[in-house]
């Protein structure tokens, strides 16, 4: 065993949720619109104060209309297209022109609210990439011509010798030329067990040196390192994902163009075709525009999604956007990382093969108490939980790449480690011990051989513990309608096979690098959700149709994901799928109702069969209906 001096990155606390200035500004303007609307209604209907009435409505029109108007003008003159922003502003002004300022203010508030909800998730790309880049140290100690100097990352060149001390993060891809150590590679590969490194072994940038000091020759500069490649994969994946357009966006411009073209056509038809007066023609045209404005259509999706997201958050599932919730409703394949996702990323003693289990565990615990290696700590913890007192040993000494040895009170040499250490001690395993060692290897467990002098006293297995009731969570996910479940891991084949069998997964891929996971995500039948927790999962989380992270994972994974399981409970994922599908059904119902109202009431308004008060009632009644349908999801239990 070796001595660990640094807690792995996966145990770091989750990052604080930050709100961008753009979102804060949008929330402020929406709140001002609401306050202006309420003040106007109070002044108009309760206190009968014209000054308060018009001050409130003007405030609502300015706070809700100026941002939408600016976006509308930008789309009109820069992108040469009409959108719903322009239609909503004109509808609000049209309502005010026929004495319905309150209706116009309501239109602007609801539209502002929907835009604020959509803006909430913006800006995650840059923060995710920045979190990934933060894994790089500011620099490193470099030896050139026998002289050690501190160099920034940009100054490190191919052929330089990195001097990496215990606890330091490796600054560039390099090859060990002197020394031995163990390295935590979980940020890059997802491997749960620290990897021993000796002369000739390669070190990846972003990984952590756990105990020994080593010198390593730089193979690639920082700009071309493993970590830099991860950043590039993240940028590529985020770009691919941002190209997706929603159905609403595709139909927004055509709908706005049709309505805006119909308003003057309706006025002209009524004025010159049917000979109505100017005032009557204008009144009907404005009523038509108010009724045809897609207020209920626009709020249909946000009302449902906000309610569903609130219900999910109450259950410990955080959706970063309504798009993520909608995507989950259609997911057919869920890919899982292993370490820290299906497992707890915590080593646990799983087996003891000895003539006297208690005596062997006491000896192992006495030896491993002098090491902070994760495997050593698993044995010490198991002895404490089982009430086994560690034997007293002296002169404990870690042997890098082998294990640990010490002396008992009678002077004999006791040891615990791998098969290389057993051979070094001249020990030979009997048939039963050899079978136990092979069985542990087949199951993917790390083996610890314990002995005194040339005599082996026991063989122990240590493995990454599965999350509680993880098999039940995966079965529930299948029952929720997810047809395809697969495990993607950077761990060894035998470890992956063992874990997949224990959790009930029929398909797995092992030995994967981040780019391998990224490629496989694109090959799986979609839509695909990726569930992970480590830095190595970040590109796949971003590339998948939906990224899901557990809250105990790294900052990078949490930033890259679309959904975060705040209680680290994968059992909530099946409930989230059911909620997302209920939300999608509600959205379809809402949209059908909202468009149905427009298609029925708008022609009647043109024909004069629907006066403005009734048109407003139908319009706002439709809005209330779709909001109510959305609020029903607040009662959903996961």
| Active-site residue list | 337
Angle at 222 between CA 9 and CA 224, to 5 degrees: 110
Task: Give CA separation, 536 vs 488, 514, 624, in Å.
Answer: 11, 5, 46
Phi-psi region of 485 (alpha: psi -120 to 50; beta: other; left: phi over 0): beta
Q: 635: left (phi > 0), else alpha (psi -120 to 50), else beta?
A: alpha
At residue 157, φ and ψ (nearest 5 deg) are: -120, 160
Cβ-based neighbour number of residue 417 at 10 Å: 27
Distances (CA, A) of 226 to 206, 560, 579: 8, 18, 39
Please report where in the chains the tokens 């009678």 appear, as a residue.
410
Q: Which two tokens stand for residue 583?
A: 């939300």
Q: Given the structure tokens 């060149």, which residue do they identify? A: 157
Element (H, E) at 420: helix 419-424
- Phi and psi based region of residue 316 (left: phi greater than 0; alpha: psi -120 to 50; beta: remaining): left
Is residue 417 within a helix (H) or strand (E), and if so which, with residue range?
strand 413-417
Q: In which element (H, E) is residue 174 found?
A: strand 174-178
Answer whether 85's CB lies under 8 Å from 259's CB. Answer: no
106 Cβ neighbours under 8 A, 6+ residues apart: 37, 295, 620, 623
Task: Please report which helix (H) or strand (E) contains residue 288, including its range.
Answer: helix 278-292
Q: What is the DSSP string of 442-507?
A: HTT-EEEEEEETTEEEEEEEEEEEEPTTHHHHHHHHHHTT--EEEEE-SS-HHHHHHHHHHHT-S-
| Secondary structure element (H or E) that encloses residue 198, with its range | none
Name residue, tokens 């030995």. 511
Q: Reduced to 3 states, what is the DSSP secondary structure of residue 356?
A: coil
- Within 8 A by CB and 6+ apart from 218, the residues are 156, 157, 158, 159, 160, 161, 162, 172, 173, 174
531 Cβ contact partners less than 8 Å away, ≥ 6 residues apart: 334, 335, 336, 337, 341, 548, 549, 550, 570, 573
* C-beta neighbour count of 504 within 10 angstroms: 13
Per-residue b/e over 109-129, b at no fewer than 16 CB within 10 Å? bbbbbbbbbbbbeeebbebbb
How many Cα atoms occupy the beta-carbon half-sphere of 339 within 13 Å? 34
């Amino acid at each position: 065993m070796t001595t660990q001096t640094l807690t792995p990155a996966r145990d770091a606390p989750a990052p604080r949720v930050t709100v961008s200035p753009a979102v804060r500004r949008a929330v402020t303007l929406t709140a001002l619109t609401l306050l202006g609307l309420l003040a106007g209604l109070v002044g108009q209907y309760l206190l009968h104060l014209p000054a308060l009435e018009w001050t409130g409505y003007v405030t609502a029109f300015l706070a809700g209309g100026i941002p939408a108007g600016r976006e509308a003008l930008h789309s009109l003159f820069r992108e040469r297209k009409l959108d719903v922003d322009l239609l909503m502003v004109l509808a609000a002004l049209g309502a005010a022109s026929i004495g319905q300022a309150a209706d116009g203010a309501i239109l602007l508030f609801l539209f502002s609210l929907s835009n604020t909800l959509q803006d909430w998730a913006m800006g995650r790309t840059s923060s995710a990439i920045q979190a990934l880049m933060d894994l790089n140290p500011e620099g490193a100690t470099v030896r050139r011509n026998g002289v050690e100097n501190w160099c920034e990352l940009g100054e490190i060149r191919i052929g330089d010798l990195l001097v990496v001390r215990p606890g330091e993060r490796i600054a560039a891809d390099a090859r060990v030329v002197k020394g031995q150590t163990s390295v935590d590679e979980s940020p890059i590969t997802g491997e749960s067990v620290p990897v021993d490194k000796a002369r000739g072994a390669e070190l990846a940038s972003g990984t952590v040196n756990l105990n020994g000091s080593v010198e390593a020759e730089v193979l690639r500069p920082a700009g071309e390192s493993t970590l830099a490649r991860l950043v590039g994969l993240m940028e590529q994946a985020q770009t691919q994902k941002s190209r997706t357009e929603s159905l609403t966006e595709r139909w927004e411009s055509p709908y706005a163009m049709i309505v805006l073209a119909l308003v003057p056509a309706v006025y002209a038809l009524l004025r010159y075709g049917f000979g109505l007066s100017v005032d009557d023609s204008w009144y009907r045209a404005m009523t038509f525009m108010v009724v045809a404005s897609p207020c209920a259509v626009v709020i249909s999706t946000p009302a449902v999604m906000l309610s569903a997201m609130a219900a999910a958050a109450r259950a410990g599932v955080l959706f970063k956007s309504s798009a993520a919730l909608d995507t989950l409703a259609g997911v057919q394949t869920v890919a899982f990382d292993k370490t820290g996702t299906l497992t707890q990323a915590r080593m646990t003693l799983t087996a003891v093969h000895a003539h006297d289990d208690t005596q062997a565990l006491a000896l192992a615990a006495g030896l491993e108490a002098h090491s902070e290696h994760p495997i050593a700590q698993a044995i010490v913890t198991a002895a404490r939980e089982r009430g086994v007192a560690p034997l007293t040993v002296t002169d404990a000494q870690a042997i890098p790449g082998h294990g640990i040895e010490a002396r008992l009170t009678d002077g004999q040499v006791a040891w615990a480690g791998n098969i290389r250490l057993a051979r070094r001690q001249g020990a030979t395993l009997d048939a039963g011990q050899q079978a136990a060692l092979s069985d542990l290897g087949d199951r993917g467990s790390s083996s610890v051989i314990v002995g005194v002098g040339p005599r082996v006293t026991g063989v122990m297995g240590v493995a990454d513990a599965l999350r509680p009731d993880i098999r039940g969570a995966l079965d529930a996910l299948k029952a929720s309608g997810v047809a395809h479940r697969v495990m993607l891991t950077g761990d060894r084949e035998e470890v992956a096979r063992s874990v997949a069998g224990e959790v009930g997964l029929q398909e797995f891929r092992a030995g994967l690098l981040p780019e391998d996971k990224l490629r496989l995500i694109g090959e799986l039948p979609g839509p695909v959700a990726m569930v992970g927790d480590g830095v190595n999962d970040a590109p796949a989380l971003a590339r998948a149709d939906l990224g899901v992270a557990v809250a105990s994972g790294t900052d990078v994974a949490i930033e890259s994901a679309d959904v975060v399981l705040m209680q680290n409970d994968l059992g909530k994922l099946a409930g989230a799928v059911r909620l997302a599908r209920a939300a999608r059904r509600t959205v379809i119902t809402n949209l059908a109702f909202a468009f149905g109202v427009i298609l029925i009431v708008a022609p009647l308004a043109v024909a004069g069969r629907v006066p403005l008060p009734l048109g407003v009632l139908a319009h706002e009644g439709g809005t209330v209906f779709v909001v109510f349908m959305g609020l029903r999801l607040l009662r959903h239990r996961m």
